[in-house]
Amino acid sequence: MNIISTKIVANRKPHKCNACGRSFGKGSKMEVTAISDSGYVFNWRNCTTCTELLNKHQEVFADEMDHTYDEFCVLTAMSDYYDAESPEDLLEQLNAKKNYKNSTK
């Protein structure tokens, strides 16, 4: 898997976030990463909240074998591992947990 480019764009039409599955309308800002893998090229789109989650808390979401993310990984973490009602709620919980760990060192 190779990352070709990553950029922040304003949607020209509605798109779903690949990490949480929520829909974002025209004009919404999203991070778009162009990826090539096994001869295929595709885009991975994240909303701003999921971009922050995946960047700050990679250990929660990244696959242990190849350090990639599965589609709807944030949605899965919200329902299976945390009692979070939204990606924003999950971000708040993980930030608090990380801050607690840092304060006890």
pLDDT per residue as tens digits for the range 74-103: 988 888 878 889 999 999 999 998 766 656
CA–CA separation, 50 vs 52, rounded Å?
5
Q: What is the mean pLDDT of the chain?
A: 87
Dig out the tokens for 81 from the structure: 């591992």
Q: In terms of pTM, does the model score above 0.75?
A: yes
Chain mean position to CA 12: 20
